[in-house]
Structure 1
Amino acid sequence: MTTITVDRHDLAILNELQRDGQLTNSTLGERIHLSTSQVGRRVQRLEEAGVIDHYAAVLDPLVVGLDVMAFVQVTLDRHGETRGEVFEQAVADLPEVLECFSVTGEADYIVRVISHDLNSFSKFMMDGLLRIPGVTNVKSNISLKKVKQVTILPLDHLAQPKLSKQRVQFSA
């Protein structure tokens, strides 16, 4: 486990970059009151430590013609490392799958799926998900509307009042 120390400036950088990953170091410096070179060193350290995982453009699914969002609960026929690995690898290769989580409860996995329309979602289910070895039960919930979806993680727990530094531990 790697330990990295972050201070209020690092937290400010992380908050700003979560809102706009294209900010230049100069603009970041102006916003958080540090020099461009200081910001550059801090961003590089946060990237190298894995705190900043990657940068991406967030597309609007509706604008690019992906109208159906579904949350699919998947149950496997039996539990075990091999069965789960087969499922997880198969799901990783399906482009319609945006996220997949191993969960507790009634299902073994929850999968977030995006599709062009209901016909393509049906094809994905029949020819993709249901053909994965070990899948015995699926329950789908189609999203009717997006109420909230953010990519910004709350970081308030990292900042303690009256302390300028907080140690954050994570696996690299």
Structure 2
Amino acid sequence: MKKFSYLVYGLKILSDIECSELVALDELQEHEYDVLIEVHPVSSEIHERIEDGWYSSYRHESMWFHIPEIATYWMQDRNLISIELCHGADLPMAKQYLLGSCLGMIMLQRNMIAIHGGTIVFDGKGVIFTGDRGAGKSTITSALRLKGYPFVADDVSSVEVGQCHFIHPGFPQQKLCQDAMHQFGYQLD
């Protein structure tokens, strides 16, 4: 099976699933990745739990959840995501859970925090603007980017907690409402 290599949240990803939403890397070797995403059956223990009516289990080293008619996802040991797709599953929907919940759980296992907000660099430090949906996070980061402040991320950033804290970007795209796009002079053709 062909493997795809990506960078997101500061993590090098080697994946069985193509994710055009992510920044592509040159082909990673087996020993070069931080996280492996594989399409692979989950454990029989997880299947037994699902048959008993469970839909999830969360322990620091092993987290799993089941979305009926889509997939079962199993995150292990800070570096492995196993996905067992249901027969006839909608792959774009399965990818939404992979790129959202699964990567979020891997970040938790790695002592990283995912923050929903726009991020820029100000005076050599990362600044994350958070707020409710529609509060103007993307508009603020876009305005600051146009004023010359380096843009890091629009929607989600991860904060790596340790001796020094680092902010890593999520997806390389920016979401703006039409009003803000007109205000900044973007062509909407």
TM-score range, shorter chain: under 0.3
Which of structures 1 and 2 has the larger relative contact order (alpha carbons within 8 angstroms, sep 6+)?
Answer: 1
Structure with higher helix content? 1
Structure with higher strand content? 2
What TM-score do the two structures reach when normalised by structure 2? 0.22
